[in-house]
């Protein structure tokens, strides 16, 4: 019996995901998917209704591959690409500490989330690093950031408004 989640797009992606056989392959697949379909910098808008569900299914597969290939120490201390999680976190925090521009700080924070959101980085490193990056971002934004009129804020950020007919 079909469910609400059955549609041709999701079925196509489930088949692609089931073909992932190694953690390295899964990591690259997830990273590419997030870059193309997930971020505010995405380049492909074809999955507007299904991207979140598809990302979840990829994350599930990567988590299973990670559990199969990593030992306990690696699960707690390494990213799926094999990098030391503390080193990756320290690099993101150093970039944010050196940043003085709120828009660049946003980019650092967004890129960190895209690259490291679990299951890529262990949760124990991701959550604390994300908190510290967000704290610095809010300090740079200051209290008047959202006091700007919407049109002025869009102009400052270089936003192009797209409307659907």
12-36 pLDDT tens trace: 999 999 999 999 999 999 999 999 9
Cβ 20 vs Cβ 63: under 8 Å: no
Give the whole-angstrom CA distance, residue 21 versus residue 29: 11
Long-range contacts made by residues 115-119, C-beta under 8 angstroms, separation at least 24? 115/31, 116/79, 116/88, 116/89, 116/92, 117/34, 118/59, 118/63, 119/59, 119/62, 119/63, 119/66, 119/80
pLDDT surpasses 80 at 83:
yes
- Element (H or E) spanning 43, and its range? none
Q: Looking at per-residue confidence, does 164 or 115 come out higher? A: 115
Query: Which of the four pLDDT bands, split at 50, 70 and 90, describes residue 59?
Result: very high
pLDDT of residue 21: 97
Count of CB atoms situated within 10 Å of the CB of 28: 14
Q: Where in the chain is the domain with CATH 1.20.1280.10?
A: 1-69
Q: Where in the chain is the domain with CATH 1.20.1280.30?
A: 82-165
Cβ burial, residue 29 (10 Å; 0-12/13-18/19+): middle
| Pure H helices in the chain | 8-18, 23-37, 51-69, 72-77, 85-98, 102-116, 123-141, 150-157
**Percentage of the chain lying above the pLDDT 90 cut:** 72
Fold topology of 82-165:
Monooxygenase (1.20.1280)
Is pTM, for the whole model, over 0.95? no
Cβ burial, residue 161 (10 Å; 0-12/13-18/19+): exposed
Does CATH number 1.10.760.10 belong to domain 1-69? no
The mean pLDDT of 94-119, rounded to a whole number, is 95
Cα distances (Å, whole numbers) of residue 67 to 26, 28, 63, 131, 145: 12, 17, 6, 26, 42
Identify which of 52-56, 142-146, 154-158 has the greatest average pLDDT.
52-56
pLDDT surpasses 90 at 94:
yes
């Amino acid at each position: 019996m079909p469910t609400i989640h059955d549609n041709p797009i999701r079925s196509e992606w489930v088949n692609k995901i089931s073909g992932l056989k190694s953690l390295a392959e899964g990591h690259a697949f997830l990273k590419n998917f997030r870059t193309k379909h997930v971020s505010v910098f995405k380049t492909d808008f074809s999955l507007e209704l299904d991207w979140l569900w598809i990302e979840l299914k990829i994350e599930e597969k990567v988590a299973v591959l990670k559990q199969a290939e990593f030992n306990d120490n690696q699960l707690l201390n390494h990213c799926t690409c094999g990098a030391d999680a503390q080193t990756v976190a320290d690099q993101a925090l150093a970039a944010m500490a050196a940043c003085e521009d709120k828009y660049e700080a946003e980019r650092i924070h967004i890129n960190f989330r895209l690259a490291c959101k679990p299951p890529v980085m262990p949760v124990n490193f991701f959550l604390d690093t994300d908190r510290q990056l967000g704290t610095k971002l809010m300090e740079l934004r200051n209290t008047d950031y959202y006091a700007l009129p919407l049109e002025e804020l869009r102009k400052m950020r270089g936003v192009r408004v797209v409307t659907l007919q």
